[in-house]
Amino acid sequence: MRKLCLLAALAAALFLTACEQHAVENPLHYSDAPVASGQTAYRLEPHPLYNAQTLGNLFQPLVDYLNREQPGVHIELEASRDYQAYEQKFRAREAEILMPNPWQTIEAMKVGYHVIAQWGNAEDFKGIFVVRKDGGIQMPADLKGKVVSYPSPTALAAAVMPQYYLHTQGIDINTDIQNHYVGSQESSIMNVYMGNSSAGATWPPPWRLFQKKHPAEAAELKVIWETPHLLNNSVMVRDDVPQAVREGIQRALLDLPMTPQGRLILSKMETSQFHAATDATYDIVKEYVARFEKEVRPIERK
């Protein structure tokens, strides 16, 4: 019965994801309190590495903490439907504060956002391949002619880096395998569990969360390969956010590991700490992206 329920839930999720590809974006806002008189409102938007409900549960405590640390400022959490909707929104400069992946970081710089922190340790930002234990996949060549699932073509750790890994292993990702972009990290993993893909690409934090939420299903899967690590996600602010607010957000983020409450917020996010960073920190990502696009494919499908 548990498996039937899980099958039904996944089918519904996949159906909704397919429908939403053509739906108008209706941002989901999370706030525990209305904006008080005299407060300035800002929107904080993480990239959609989780579904909207999970993202709200994990990131709302961080937003509440930032609001407590900055009198006169009210921050609201906003979720996007998928990677493409998120990218459209930051290119339109809709949110004041972003938490994008490294590729989105270098794209957001082009429209006036600037890095104030790296979100998590660089060593945790790597692609991993999940397969069924009984799936018969032993080496990259076993994937030829088979389906590999990813959240999005612009997911750096969960699509770009895994595809570059396969490229270095002699796999032409444009002709040797079928690439299915399924909308979320959890869907990428679940497609493997369901047998819809022979391997699923993701990265460590969503895989750890999946193991906690779905231990029985995770027990039938294993991580078979991982890529070298790169820089982790960033925190960015729009260029019209006052310097005092920008510095206050950065200081509050860097101070999180110093208190039990802060460490709890970080653990919920599957993040060890925030590190100070600037736009220049992400120059290495620009180099990686240029190499990938020259050797493998354009990151954005036109």
Does any domain span residue 27?
A: no
Whether residue 23 has pLDDT greater than 60: no
Q: What is the pLDDT of residue 4?
A: 47
- The reply to whether 116 and 244 lie within a common domain is yes
Does any domain span residue 202?
A: yes
- For 186, other C-beta atoms within 10 Å of its C-beta total 24
CATH at 270: 3.40.190.10
* Lowest mean pLDDT, pick from 130-134, 176-180, 257-261, 297-301: 297-301
The arithmetic mean of pLDDT across residues 81-103, rounded, is 96
- The reply to whether 115 and 237 lie within a common domain is yes
- The reply to whether 224 and 237 lie within a common domain is no
Whether residue 71 has pLDDT greater than 90: no
208: which DSSP letter? Answer: H
- The reply to whether 107 and 244 lie within a common domain is yes
**Residue range of the domain that includes 190:** 126-228
Q: What is the pLDDT of residue 219?
A: 98
Q: Which of 151, 113, 121 is nearest to 231 (CA)?
A: 121
In the chain, the percentage of residues whose pLDDT exceeds 90 is 79
Q: What is the pLDDT of residue 51?
A: 84
Our count of domains for the chain comes to 2
- The reply to whether 176 and 235 lie within a common domain is no
Q: What is the pTM of this model?
A: 0.85
Cα–Cα–Cα angle for 124, 267, 58, nearest 5°?
100
Q: What is the pLDDT of residue 38?
A: 63
Q: What is the DSSP string of 85-149?
A: HHHHHHHTT--SEEE--HHHHHHHHTTTEEEEEEES-GGG---EEEEETTS---SGGGGTTSEEE
- The letter for the amino acid at 179 is N
- The reply to whether 177 and 214 lie within a common domain is yes
Q: Using 50, 70 and 90 to split pLDDT, how confident is the model at 302?
A: low
Q: Which of 233, 49, 236, 209 is nearest to 125 (CA)?
A: 233
Q: Using 50, 70 and 90 to split pLDDT, how confident is the model at 198?
A: very high
Does any domain span residue 22?
A: no
* Lowest mean pLDDT, pick from 9-23, 207-221, 263-277: 9-23
| Phi, psi of 99, rounded to the nearest 5 degrees | -130, 75
Does any domain span residue 297?
A: no
Q: What is the pLDDT of residue 39?
A: 78
Task: Report yes or no: 99 and 119 within 8 Å, Cβ to Cβ.
Answer: yes
- The reply to whether 248 and 281 lie within a common domain is yes
Does any domain span residue 171?
A: yes
Does any domain span residue 3?
A: no
- The reply to whether 103 and 244 lie within a common domain is yes
- The reply to whether 219 and 167 lie within a common domain is yes
- The reply to whether 85 and 174 lie within a common domain is no
Domain closes at, from 180, 213, 228: 228
Contacts of 124 (CB under 8 A, 6+ apart): 203, 204, 205, 229, 232, 272
Mean pLDDT of the chain: 90
Does any domain span residue 249?
A: yes
Whether residue 292 has pLDDT greater than 90: yes
Whether residue 133 has pLDDT greater than 70: yes
Does any domain span residue 157?
A: yes
Q: What is the pLDDT of residue 22?
A: 39
Whether residue 136 has pLDDT greater than 60: yes
- The reply to whether 182 and 217 lie within a common domain is yes
- The reply to whether 245 and 108 lie within a common domain is yes
Q: Using 50, 70 and 90 to split pLDDT, how confident is the model at 21?
A: very low
Q: What is the pLDDT of residue 14?
A: 47
Q: Which residues of 102-112 are buried (b: 16+ CB within 10 A; e: fewer)?
A: bbbbbbbbeee
Whether residue 283 has pLDDT greater than 90: yes
